[in-house]
Copies of this chain bind each other. A is one copy, B any other.
């Protein structure tokens, strides 16, 4: 068993993508039940390697063991969730319009179902060595959909990625899945990545990382003769609106909660609350003071790698040089190695509106409070924001009654709107939307977390006038998969009686 390591040449990428196409051509014929068993086996093999995975990832990413253990559980649960989704099977959106010979012109029998796109390229994310990397949500959903996968390991945790890849290889052999169904590539992202995205056999791409990285992948795709979908999650500062009544009543609790959300995982989450908005008041001053005190209690921790550490520091330095910004609190403990200093700063609404730099993401434990003159200015600030993954309201019932307009505005900003919770923590479930208007992601119509994320890897295929024997299982008269289908515009699991 050897890893397929792509060197930095297009020739090797060509071999890998041809192998991926070949594996796809077999894999797409494998039943959903067998694909589900395979996903469960991957989960089992990852579980079997848990101890070495945690120690290896800890050494590579500086993430603490408890977090890594949690992330492994999330990863295996995700694999099992997709297994149950495809065992149930209704996600394929089967629709059937039966023939009608009495109509003029006669209506033919027409049936549609989702089919997998083909080989998918998954770029591992630096901040989630398991859940958004090698066997993470992108890979799990693509395999569940029936696609083959080529993983480009993130250079920050190549050893962890290789171990996870080994676990998947064991599952491939145990489940007799096609060789090369999953392949593993390392190397410079901008060389290998470009070649992978532009190979004719590649049918879709997923990426979680920086705006410049995501935008480059989109440009590579647009340069292709036939552009392909690039699902890139790129940047989000996740605005949180603190309403007056709750600030008045709950300042201390809010400050504790948000000090935790801003610094959890050293702020290295795409849903980190980077922007705190409120109308000026004594209650807000009080809240910011307590928030500052809470932030300075946080023990500095090492960031994921020196690249992220340096860009946090340079991003923060540049932010703090902007005119009108004031530091609310900064962890002043002596930091060692690549430990980050959690920081909160504030600006007035007017200052924020005048300087687009304040909208830039500083990836790490930093949050900027916008002190607005009034609700009107707060709405102007919200309206000026680019697309976000999340937007949050911290509010009492009284606040909500008085600010329906802000609730409406917030719904236009992001893929997920949150009330009296923190944005960090992304539940893996059917109702999750982890996606949002550009530049949060490249395509707000899809989510990268939760069961709906499988829809990124399929297209509908329509069969006109075929006999039952030639139709996919999902479309046969007897409904052998017992899935929910739209038959002559009615949702049903019933069989179709032959006429």
Contacts and interface: CB of A to CB of B under 8 A. Distances in A.
A432 B465 contact: no
B421 A108 contact: yes
Interface stretch (A123-131, A237-245, A274-282, A433-441): A433-441
Interface residues of A, number: 66
A431 B470 contact: no
Given A387-B226, A459-B415, A461-B415, A110 B447 contact: no
A465 B226 contact: no
A222 B219 CA distance: 9
Copies of this chain per assembly: 2
Nearest to A458: B445
A93 B444 CA distance: 15
A68 B445 CA distance: 36
Interface in A435-455: 435, 437-439, 442-445, 447, 451-452, 455
Contacts of A420: 465
Interface in A371-416: 386-387, 400, 407, 411, 415-416
A415 B458 CA distance: 12
Contacts of A455: 445
A417 interface: yes
Interface in A61-106: 84-85, 88, 90, 93, 95-97, 105
Interface stretch (A315-323, A325-333, A422-430): A422-430
Contacts of A429: 95, 97, 107, 110, 489
Contact of A419 (B107, B470, B489): B470
Given A110-B427, A226-B439, A421-B465, 19 more contacts: A95-B452, A96-B430, A97-B432, A108-B421, A110-B431, A110-B432, A111-B431, A218-B227, A222-B222, A226-B438, A229-B445, A415-B459, A416-B462, A417-B462, A417-B466, A420-B465, A430-B489, A431-B462, A445-B459
